Chains A and B, each alone.
Chain A
Amino acid sequence: QKEVEQNSGPLSVPEGAIASLNCTYSDRGSQSFFWYRQYSGKSPELIMFIYSNGDKEDGRFTAQLNKASQYVSLLIRDSQPSDSATYLCASNTGFQKLVFGTGTRLLVSP
C-alpha cells in the first residue's frame, strides 16, 4: 500500500512566523510531490510541486524534498491569517496517479 502520511494538526503559528508542514511517503519509486492548499468547503488548489532533492522556492513558499529520508516539507514564510487552511501533500506514484495524505490544518493567529 503506497502511503503518504501527514500530521493532522492543527499547527498553530502567529502571524509573521514561519510555518513548517511535513509529509512522509512510503513508495521509494515516487518521482514527484505536490502541495495543495484547501480552504474549508472549497476544492484543493495547487501551491507547488517538487521532484528534485533540495529546495524549491516560489514566493513565500519553499518546498523541500529528501528522497533518502522519504520526506517532503513545505515552509510558509511570513505566515498570514489568510494562510489558515488545510495543506495536502501528494506523491506521484506513476501512471499519472497521485496518492494524497490526509492533510495538516494550519491556523495562523493575528
Chain B
Amino acid sequence: DAGITQSPRHKVTETGTPVTLRCHQTENHRYMYWYRQDPGHGLRLIHYSYGVKDTDKGEVSDGYSVSRSKTEDFLLTLESATSSQTSVYFCAIIRDSYSYEQYFGPGTRLTVT
C-alpha cells in the first residue's frame, strides 16, 4: 500500500454527524489526494494537497473539507454526513513528481445511514 495507511478502514455513521477520515504517509511526499469510488462513476477526485496547508478542490468537493497541517497527514472531513456520501474513500500520493504516478492507500468504506 505504498507506505500509506488510512483510518478508520470501515465506518458506519448517521446522517448529520461529522466524520473525519485520516490518510497517513511515511515517505514525506508532497502531493496527496482524496478520491471517492462509486459504482458507475469510477474514481473521482475530492480534494488534493500540494504541500502543508496547500490544498485545492477536485471535481466532487461539495460537502467535504480537508486539512494538512503536517506533511504526513491529510484529513478529509464530512461536516454533516449525508447518505449520498456513502462510498469507498481512497487516499493517494505521488512518489515521482516527474511521472505523476499515483499510489493508493487501502481505502475506507464509509456507510451513512
Contact = CB atoms under 8 A, between A and B. Distances in A.
B34 interface: no
A96 B42 contact: no
Contacts of A109: none
Interface in B75-94: 90, 94
**Quick one: which of B44, B103, B106 has the most chain A CB within 10 A?**
B103
Contacts of A96: 31, 48, 50, 94, 97, 100
Contact of B102 (A98, A101, A102, A103): A98
Q: How large is the interface on A (under 10, 10 to 19, 20 to 34, 35 or more residues)?
A: 10 to 19
Given A96-B31, A96-B50, A96-B94, A43 B42 contact: no
B101 A34 contact: yes
B29 to A, nearest CB: 11
B58 A88 contact: no
A57 interface: no
Given A43-B105, A96-B31, A96-B50, A88 B42 contact: yes
Contacts of A60: none
Choose among B40, B44, B99 the residue with the greatest number of A CB atoms under 10 Å from its CB.
B99
A34 B106 CA distance: 19
B101 A100 contact: no
Between A42, A49, A100, the greatest number of chain B beta carbons within 10 A of the residue's beta carbon is seen for: A100
B43 A44 contact: yes
A27 interface: no
Interface in B21-47: 31, 40-45
A34 B103 CA distance: 11
Nearest to A103: B42
B1 interface: yes
Interface of B: 1, 31, 40-45, 48, 50, 58, 90, 94, 97, 99-107
Given A46-B101, A96-B97, A103-B42, 6 more contacts: A43-B106, A44-B43, A46-B102, A49-B101, A96-B48, A98-B45
